[in-house]
């Protein structure tokens, strides 16, 4: 049975790395910033994946913004507010992804020419309010699947990026749930 004294001895005996060795390694390759020798991911592959996610988020921002401004009809006001909220959240995701890309020593790709070709989701305008909601829901479902794949790919190789994507994924799931509720509401009113 462990006593309090036994567990404190366990803590003092537990060392991840000799502190002098840790300090020595921290001084090596300081130009790489937060990326240390412990980083196990393929940095260029992770940067490429993050640039795809960045393009996906930026396309979603643009689509949600258009839908916000183009929403018309008797039910448009609360739905447009939801589009605006989602656009702001997608922009925050894009900013977080761009920051992580630079932390890994990469360059975030904001080139408009590359957004449509890199993005997993499409920019579909939607003719009616119902079409807009459906297109946004389809885009969220695409993001949910692709971000789930990214989380599984990253595994333990890059826990910082994995947690970032898991956080974004959680919000995308909320967005999809919001949009399903809007669809149900529209259907019940028609």
Name the burial class of residue 164, with classes exposed (0-12), middle (13-18) and buried (19+) by CB atoms within 10 angstroms of its CB. buried
> Which domains does the chain show, CATH number per domain?
40-189 (1.20.1260.10)
Instruction: Identify the pLDDT of residue 189.
Output: 66
Q: Which residue has the higher pLDDT, 27 or 4?
A: 27
Lowest mean pLDDT among 56-65, 96-105, 118-127, 166-175: 118-127
Give the residue, 11 or 114, on which the prediction is more confident: 114
User: Is pTM, for the whole model, over 0.75?
Assistant: yes
> Does the structure show a pLDDT above 50 at 50?
yes
Checking 69-73 for CB contacts under 8 A at 24+ apart, the result is 70/125, 70/126, 70/132, 71/129, 71/132, 72/129, 73/128, 73/129
Distance CA 160, CA 178 (A): 28
Answer whether residue 29 shows pLDDT above 70: no
SS3 content of the chain, % helix, strand, coil (to 5): 75, 0, 25
Q: What is the pLDDT of residues 125-145, one digit of tens each?
A: 988 999 999 999 999 999 999
Beta carbons within 10 angstroms of residue 49's beta carbon: 22
Instruction: Please tell me the predicted confidence (pLDDT) of residue 7.
Output: 47
Question: Among 82, 88, 33, which residue's Cα sits nearest to residue 183?
Answer: 82
CA gap 97, 169 in Å, rounded: 12
Asked if residues 149 and 167 have their Cβ atoms less than 8 Å apart, the reply is no
**What is the rounded average pLDDT for all residues in the chain?**
88
Share of the chain above pLDDT 70, in %: 83
């Amino acid at each position: 049975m462990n006593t309090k004294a036994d567990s404190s001895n366990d803590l003092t005996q537990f060392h991840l790395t000799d502190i002098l060795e840790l300090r020595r390694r921290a001084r090596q390759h300081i130009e790489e910033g937060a990326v240390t020798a412990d980083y196990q991911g393929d940095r260029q592959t992770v940067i490429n994946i993050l640039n795809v996610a960045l393009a996906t988020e930026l396309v979603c921002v643009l689509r949600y913004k258009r839908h916000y401004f183009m929403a018309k009809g008797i039910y448009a006001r609360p739905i447009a507010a939801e589009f605006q909220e989602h656009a702001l959240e997608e922009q925050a995701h894009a900013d977080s992804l761009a920051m992580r890309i630079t932390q890994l020593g990469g360059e975030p790709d904001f080139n408009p020419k590359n957004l449509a070709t890199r993005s997993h989701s499409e920019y579909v305008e939607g003719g009616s309010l119902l079409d807009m909601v459906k297109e946004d829901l389809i885009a969220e479902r695409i993001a949910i699947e692709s971000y789930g794949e990214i989380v599984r790919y990253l595994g333990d190789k890059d826990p910082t990026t994995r947690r970032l994507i898991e956080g974004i994924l959680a919000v995308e799931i909320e967005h999809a749930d919001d949009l399903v509720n809007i669809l149900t509401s529209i259907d019940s009113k028609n």
